[in-house]
Amino acid sequence: MEMERADEAVSMHVAGSACSQAVFTVFADELGLEPSVAHRISGGFGGGIGRMGLTCGAVTGGIMALSLALGATDSADQDSKLALYQVVAEYMERLKAFKGSIECRVLLEGVDLWTEEGRDMVKARQLSEKVCNSMIHKAVEEAERILNEKDRFGV
């Protein structure tokens, strides 16, 4: 049985990939990008961008997938740029509604991922399992929904 894309992303996260890497990489092949390249490109967005607790990596990974699929290919294509902004804004709103925030530090109950104490708290509270994995799953599902609506690929 073929694994669902969202489940594959969660498995990647459990295996050690950042949320951003897990979400973006599962779309790579179908969008014409080598998965290993997608994994490298999206690495800096983990932990709320460079482990700073800013925008959730699952969200930024999805934005990268949407941008790759729907974004403008040159500066002259302002219509595609503006259409993408609209799609991304809707995407972010849906994910914000899912967990009440798209800010990593808020989702992870204020922990500082740069400290050992913060990382220990994530483990102790099982936040990776409870928050990150469900956010990854939802981020992939929402990106798939949008890409299917825009007829960008068949899932």
**What are the pLDDT digits (tens) for 80-100?**
999 999 999 999 999 999 999
Span 46-62, pLDDT tens digits: 999 999 999 999 999 99
Segment 2-20 mean pLDDT: 93
Is pLDDT larger for residue 1 or for residue 26? Answer: 26
Give 60: exposed, middle or buried? Use CB within 10 Å, 0-12, 13-18, 19+: buried
Q: What is the pLDDT of residue 13?
A: 97
Assess whether pLDDT exceeds 70 at residue 112: yes
Share above pLDDT 90 across residues of the chain, in percent, rounded to a whole number: 94
Residue 104 CA to residue 4 CA, distance in Å, equals 25
Residues sharing a CB contact under 8 Å with residue 109, sequence separation 6 or more, in sequence order: 121, 125, 127
Q: What is the pLDDT of residue 2?
A: 57
Assess whether pLDDT exceeds 80 at residue 154: no
pLDDT band at 1 (very low <50, low <70, confident <90, very high): very low
